[in-house]
Structure 1
Amino acid sequence: MERLWPHKGGGMRMLNLSQVQTFLAVIDEGGIQSAAERLACSQPAVSQQLRKLEEFVGVPLVVRNRSRAVPTRDGDLFLPKARSLIASADRARAVVSDRRLVVHASGNVGVYLAPRLIAVFERDLDRPGTVDLVITTNRHAVDALIAGEADIALTEWSEDHPAVEWQGWRREKLVVIAGPDHPLAKERCIPRQALLDHPIIGGEPGTGTGRALAGMFGPDAGRLRVARQLGSTAAVKEAVKAGLGLSVVFAYSVAEEVKAGTLTMLELEEADIFKTLFIGLGRESPQSSMARRFATFCLASA
């Protein structure tokens, strides 16, 4: 971190806070060697940083001798200002580093996966309340990330953008669900074409499920009888329970209902359907940023 400073030759020079930290380490530790150990660098590097600082201010700041390094008179005058500069820099860094991480997640991911991930992440950090979770649509999550309103997006699809870095996160199985009284409920496995004969709840174009169905049926996707657009998996499940049609959802989102017998899970004869979930973050996010740490944690937990 640096501060601009005028000098006799015209233009601006910069006060380097790394050099100021080196000066403080030399004074506090009483010598070049001890300062180097504290800063985890070499003694020549400490001497060079100190020399550059003295060149910048135009006066010697430290008396170097064999027994102990002590400040000169000018060094004594500079010392409280140096401590104030470093303290101000630390406060400025804390304003940013202590900010809560904002995660926008699409509906299913936000409801069924993100809360547990966040709980473990915060527990590992020993910092409860570090993450703000916003549950929204895929479209809004992507837009929030591009606009800088979100640090992380957890979505069911990705979208190329120069400012965004996407990583495939996990592959999740999609299943067909039916109400317990549906004509297909007693079938364990059905042909894909059977979906064309019954109303489909959800899966409208543009949604994550809609994209999966389009990929599965190709040109025949237009023959699907998408009957109702309910906006949430919870509403879809209730509609299916009521016998209004079939639906295609993430297997993890109906595990409890299938176990309780309120919904039936149907396999497809042709092949299982999987959908990749994505993590998006700013391409310029530093490696040390909380966004990078959270993304790395999610990938390791997949």
Structure 2
Amino acid sequence: MPMRITLHQLQLFDAAARMPSFKAAAEALNLSPPALSIQLKILEESLGVSLFEQIGKKKYLTSPGLELQQVCHRIFDELNHLDMRFTQLRGGMAGKLSIAIVTSAKYFMPHLFGAFQRVYPNVEFNMIVANRTRILERLENNADDLVIMAHVPDAFDIKAIDFLDNPLIVIASPDHPLVKVKNIAFEQLLQQPFLIRESGSGTRMAVEQYFSSHNAAMKVAMELGSSEAIKQGVLARLGISILSRHCVWLELKTGFLKQLDVQGFPDVRSWYVVYRKGKQLSPVADAFIKFIVANGQIMLDEVEQLYR
């Protein structure tokens, strides 16, 4: 006997699977917990399997539940692609785009989203900002349409497209003695106390690679969990640091921080838009990639011009 399940039932199940509790899922769906429970019970009876199990106060997906969740994602993705494709055929571009970005990219990606949305006003963005570890988890689980990162992993079968230069620069407080020194030798930095990002950060990895390539070691004064914390630490004269220029361009414009003139810097790397190989990109995702590859640097240069 064929299964008789509806799209609405799958939507209810998917919400219940994603939320931390059935109560939270019911609230998000504007249902009462008993009403949601009844709908899920009907779905389980239709499928002939249990989709959830309760251990203590926590709910977990069973093996069939995990399998159904994957099927739901494929179905919803296909329906979303179909909706965007039909919109495109009608002469427009609309839909939702989910993009996960590492924390250092939050300083410039909103400007690119805004520029794209001015061209395609019917596109909605869902931006997830997280540290590198969490972003890699989302990439592995194919949780987003696209991922923005600077240090591309080797572990995944992915497609990575560079779209923007990522210059790493040495920064210091305005009254640091090296600020007025020209053509600073790299060796002079080795005695300076450094503020660095936490282990696992893409910026931390890039900086460590640079020092390793010069057979040198940093004099680490403090490890901090965000670029914002590092900027405040540098401003407080706790040490110098190396960050992406995109993280500090506004502070450089206002004079709150200074870029040191160090030999070998800027160390120019790249920002990448990343997705899993074999992933069927939506028309919106494909258009966004082409847009930032063609216009990313131009858009950011225009933003900086506003502050001159």
- Report the TM-score when normalising by structure 1: 0.62
Alignment of 1:3-14 (within 5 A): none
Aligned to 2:286: 292
Residues 171 and 275, structure 1, Cα contact 8 Å, conserved in 2: yes
Q: CA deviation at 1:187?
A: 1.9
Out of 209, 213, 216, the position equivalent to 2:210 is 216
Aligned to 1:72: none
SS of equivalent residue, structure 1 residue 277: strand
Aligned to 1:123: 118
Alignment of 1:101-116 (within 5 A): 101-109=97-105, 111-116=106-111
The reply to whether residue 169 of structure 1 matches residue 153 of structure 2 is no
Shift in CA distance, 137/272, structure 1 to aligned 2, threshold 3 Å:
same
Out of 238, 243, 258, the position equivalent to 1:244 is 238
CA–CA distance in structure 1, aligned partners of residues 277 and 99 of structure 2 = 16
Residues 151 and 282, structure 1, Cα contact 8 Å, conserved in 2: no
Give the counterpart letter for 1:133 in structure 2.
Answer: M
Aligned to 1:189: 183
Return the index of the structure with the highest Cα Rg: 1
The reply to whether residue 94 of structure 1 matches residue 77 of structure 2 is no
Alignment of 1:41-190 (within 5 A): 93-94=82-83, 100-109=96-105, 111-127=106-122, 130-160=124-154, 163-190=157-184
The reply to whether residue 301 of structure 1 matches residue 295 of structure 2 is yes
CA–CA distance in structure 1, aligned partners of residues 80 and 150 of structure 2 = 38
CA–CA distance in structure 2, aligned partners of residues 236 and 192 of structure 1 = 21
SS of equivalent residue, structure 1 residue 243: coil
Shift in CA distance, 288/101, structure 1 to aligned 2, threshold 3 Å:
closer
CA–CA distance in structure 1, aligned partners of residues 182 and 211 of structure 2 = 20
Shift in CA distance, 160/223, structure 1 to aligned 2, threshold 3 Å:
closer
Q: CA deviation at 1:149?
A: 1.3
Cα offsets for 1:23-58 (capped at 9, x unmatched): xxxxxxxxxxxxxxxxxxxxxxxxxxxxxxxxxxxx
Shift in CA distance, 220/159, structure 1 to aligned 2, threshold 3 Å:
same
CA–CA distance in structure 1, aligned partners of residues 171 and 180 of structure 2 = 12
Shift in CA distance, 206/195, structure 1 to aligned 2, threshold 3 Å:
farther
Alignment of 1:193-208 (within 5 A): 193-208=187-202
SS of equivalent residue, structure 1 residue 144: helix
SS of equivalent residue, structure 1 residue 275: strand
Mark the runs of 5 or more structure 1 residues left unpaired by the alignment: 5-88
Residues 286 and 292, structure 1, Cα contact 8 Å, conserved in 2: no
Aligned to 1:51: none
Give the counterpart letter for 1:169 in structure 2.
Answer: F
Q: CA deviation at 1:118?
A: 0.8
Shift in CA distance, 92/253, structure 1 to aligned 2, threshold 3 Å:
closer
Give the counterpart letter for 2:122 in structure 1.
Answer: R
SS of equivalent residue, structure 1 residue 267: coil
Aligned to 1:80: none
Measured on the aligned residues, the alpha-carbon RMSD in Å equals 2.9
Mark the runs of 5 or more structure 2 residues left unpaired by the alignment: 3-77, 87-93, 297-308
CA–CA distance in structure 2, aligned partners of residues 205 and 271 of structure 1 = 22
Judge which range, 275-284 or 243-252, deviates more. Answer: 275-284
SS of equivalent residue, structure 1 residue 206: coil
CA–CA distance in structure 2, aligned partners of residues 241 and 277 of structure 1 = 26
Q: CA deviation at 1:112?
A: 1.4
Aligned to 1:277: 271
Q: CA deviation at 1:198?
A: 1.3
Calculate percent identity across the aligned residue pairs.
Answer: 24
Q: CA deviation at 1:225?
A: 1.8
Q: CA deviation at 1:221?
A: 6.3
SS of equivalent residue, structure 2 residue 122: coil
Q: CA deviation at 1:261?
A: 2.1
